[in-house]
Amino acid sequence: MNMRVNESIHVSPFSKLKRLDSDAVRWTDGFWAQKLTTVKNDSLPSVLAALNDKSNATYFPNFKNAGSGTGAFVGVDWSDGDCYKSLETMILFLDLEYDAALDAQIDGMISEIASAQEDDGYICTQITLTGRPRWTNIHDHELYNFGHLLTVGVLHHQVTKKTSLLNVALRAADYLYDTFSTRDPELSAFCFNPSQIMGLVELYRETGEQRYLELAKIYIDNRGSNPKNPRSDLDQTQDRVPVRAETEAVGHAVTGPYLWAGAADLVMETNEQELLDAITRIWEDSTYRKMYITGGIGALHKGIAERSNPDYEEISEAYGRPFQLPNDSAYNETCANISNAMWSWRLLQLTGDARYADVMERVLFNSALSALSLDGEQFTYTNPLRFNGKDHMLISNDSPVRWKTWRCYCCPPQITRTIAGLHRWTYSTGENAVWVHLYGANTINTDINGAKLSMTQSSNYPWGGDIRFEVEAAPEGELTIHLRIPGWTPTASLTVNGDAIGVPVGSPNYVAVTRTWSAGDVIELSFDTSPQVLTARPEVEEARSQAAVICGPLVYCLEGADLPDGTSIDDVVLRSDTQFEVQPGVGLFEGLRVLSTDLQLRSSWTSHELYAPLAKLPAATVKATLIPYFAWNNRPDNTMSVWLPLQYG
């Protein structure tokens, strides 16, 4: 193809913050460097093995079968999209460190993908191999698969400069344009799990081809434009109300954030204020009324759309009502949680507002990372805040243990690609400025206005709040470094070359340090990561009179295995004056920080009755250990709770 492609990263004209080139940031040590190593050495091999297992929902050989015209389709309709996400993980590792064998493996997979593409550019193996007609059922997930193809096609070109996968993506996008640019009202409902909007904007950024941006806008315009279309899933797919008129987060908790993240990408290129206002309103509803303390969203396995009264439309994997946040039945699909971070990341780029970075960080350290076993080889789909062990009622996609293959395999490649590309979310640049969003040991080497900026960040974050930056090279003249102050820290301190600078706390913000920087300058930033006891708004009935514990960005939980024999998580109370001792984890939890404490015992419930008079708390306490929430479910036959009954001392 003769289409022009960018040789450097596209700068979105209406984004306050700018993305860095892919080689600008590298983790060097500490938390995220260790997770990155685990994903490369353990998670990715597990994923690739699952992709070739016929018992798994995602099956890569479908591409070869479609290309050869032989064999039956294996897996679920969104299998192609999750294969593309897995390939994205591989390409991100190739970007981090060139590996000829990995490069060749990727080329081989691309060849099989290309063989499955039909002459007109259409590519969906679940349709090709089954003979089903195209564009007849939104649950066939055609656009989900197309969207992830566009995204990975752009990434592969950016990393390797090869056009093999980009050409597949371009032919697919041109097919979509020819199909949907007519604005056929019969096709208006086709936006289930709309990854194609993000993919189209990325393709526009890479090629400068205006029709891809035009098509992204058409998909946004389509949402809610034709709710009487019999194919529409209405609130399930955010299709009852036009996006620009929406006031709340409703429906499926992956399709929504994918849609709103795509809308944010569109705003970065078009500066449409009405659309930005809408997705900001929706984000505030999601974050302040419907998000768990872990950053998880999508509270309900099955919900209803109350505004569809009197029909009360059933919603799967759903946002609940405001403040409806059940614990043991919480859905919190891994893909939904990560899409919450993806959406927040884009709003952060648009605005520079630290509250978006706080949500992004909360997800990453808690409800995203909880999907991955400590050994990196196993995964979870749902992420509840309480688990009742052998007595737990397992609903759709719940599992008592982590797994390597699953009936819906979208979450493993979602978490692997996120960790493999997390360095790209750590910093941004602006006009004579650099913004620091995530903390941990890393290096940054980038250009600002054509001049080099190099810094080294040293920290054992999140296990401690002391962070040190050393400037190694800086542009001449004044440069502003914006340092994120998380909303969770009660105190913070900041010095530059030993001189103190005031830091506001209490709400997320960035502190701007403007000066002429020189090699050897040192920034020292410190947050209070000591344990804190948090309560929920009184409207959250499921957390009323209960409390949770955080240390810095980490939510902690209690597992039954960390209580004495004969004591369950139902037998203990968290007092408001409970003292915690931060200790290094041992054994399974080596390298983590755990909290040792004495928990108050409750009076035993001896009656067979459902209710009894209020009993005084006994004087007895028991030794207990709280672990980071992301580390739960790595021991068998266990119980767990984030929220514990609260007794004011």
pLDDT in tens, 294-342: 999 999 999 998 888 888 889 999 999 999 999 999 999 999 999 999 9
Give the number of other CB atoms < 10 A from CB of residue 612. 10
Which of 285, 286, 267, 265 has its CA nearest to residue 276? Answer: 267
Q: How far is CA 217 from the centre of its chain?
A: 24
Model's pTM, two decimal places? Answer: 0.97
523: left (phi over 0), alpha (psi -120 to 50) or beta: beta
In the sheet where 478-485 sits, what is the strand order?
A: 427-430, 433-436, 478-485, 509-516
Who contacts 115 (Cβ-Cβ below 8 Å, separation ≥6)?
A: 63, 64, 66, 67, 68
38: which 2 tokens? 């685990």
> Mind listing the pLDDT tens digit for each residue in 344-396?
999 999 999 999 999 999 999 999 999 999 999 999 999 999 999 999 999 99
> Mind listing the pLDDT tens digit for each residue in 6-38?
556 688 999 999 999 999 999 999 999 999 999
Instruction: Write down the pLDDT at residue 264.
Output: 98
Which of 326, 296, 386, 337 has its CA nearest to residue 543? Answer: 326
How does the average pLDDT of the chain come out, rounded?
A: 96
Domain 427-527 top-level CATH class: mainly beta
In the sheet where 522-527 sits, what is the strand order?
A: 25-27, 442-448, 451-459, 466-473, 522-527, 492-496, 499-501
In Å, the largest CA–CA distance within the chain is 79
Domain spans, the chain:
427-527, 532-647
44: which 2 tokens? 């990715």
Q: Which residues of the chain have pLDDT under 50?
A: 1-2
Instruction: Write down the pLDDT at residue 648.
Output: 82
Strand, coil or helix: what is 166? Answer: helix
Find the DSSP H helices in 352-437: 354-362, 411-420
Instruction: Write down the pLDDT at residue 610.
Output: 94
Instruction: Write down the pLDDT at residue 1.
Output: 39
Which of 602, 540, 542 has its CA nearest to residue 575? Answer: 602
Q: What element of type H or E holds 211?
A: helix 210-222
Q: Which residues pair with 191 in a beta bridge?
A: none
Residue 72, phi then psi, degrees to nearest 5: -100, 155
Torsion sign (Cα): 482, 484, 487, 490: negative
Q: Which residues pair with 599 in a beta bridge?
A: 622
CA distances from 253 to 194, 236, 433 (A): 12, 9, 35
